[in-house]
Structure formats: C-alpha cells, structure tokens
Amino acid sequence: MKIVYKKSFQNRLREHIEFIASDNLKAAKKLKNQILRKTQSIPDNPFVFRQSIYFEDPQIRDCVFKNCTIVFKIEQYLYYGFWILKTPAISN
C-alpha cells in the first residue's frame, strides 16, 4: 500500500508546523515527524480509525493525533491524505 499526500494536506501541514515553529522550532519539528510517522502507519490497519465526521463516505477516515485530525481516503492500493486540521478543544 502507498500513501499519497494531496497538496491540501501538504499545505495545511506546512502552515500548522510554521505556526508552531514561530514559537518553538524544536516542538514543531518533533510534531511534524510524529504526524508523518502516524500517517505511515495507516496502511497497517486503516479501518482502526473512525469514519470521518466530515464526510458520509465510509472509505474516508479520521486519524486523530494530539490536537490534529488527519483525514484520509482508502482506495484499492492507495491512501490519500486530504487534510490536517486542528481539532477543537472540548470544554466541560
């Protein structure tokens, strides 16, 4: 299986990391590496991730990692990384 990162994913990841890097470069690099490692684990068991709350297609999944949601689509031999977005904090 292969992961294909869409431009939208690459752009949002870059923007997210640049924002964090403006305050803490070391933390930004660490988070980027962790996110990329997490996405590389998707082909091992893609259905372990929840069905996307943003789409009604069961082939589109959300991988929630730290304060980010990585949205990806499962196709026959490819996984498309669509988005990365900040997950809103839940208040009680």
- The whole-model pTM stands at 0.77
For residue 79, the domain's CATH number is 3.30.2310.20
The residue range of the domain holding 9 is 2-86
Asked whether residue 91 is domain-assigned, the answer is no
Asked whether residue 69 is domain-assigned, the answer is yes
* Per-residue pLDDT tens over the stretch 26-73: 999 999 999 989 988 888 888 999 999 988 999 999 998 888 888 888
Single out the residue of 2, 1, 16, 27 nearest to residue 70, CA to CA.
16
Asked whether residue 92 is domain-assigned, the answer is no
* Per-residue pLDDT tens over the stretch 2-18: 788 888 888 888 998 99
Split at pLDDT 50, 70, 90, the class of 78 is low
Asked whether residue 60 is domain-assigned, the answer is yes
Q: How many structural domains compose the chain?
A: 1
* pLDDT given for residue 6 in this prediction: 85
Asked whether residue 74 is domain-assigned, the answer is yes
How far is the C-alpha of 19 from the C-alpha of 25, rounded, in Å? Answer: 10
* pLDDT given for residue 82 in this prediction: 67
* pLDDT given for residue 79 in this prediction: 65
Single out the residue of 91, 89, 36, 90 nearest to residue 63, CA to CA.
36
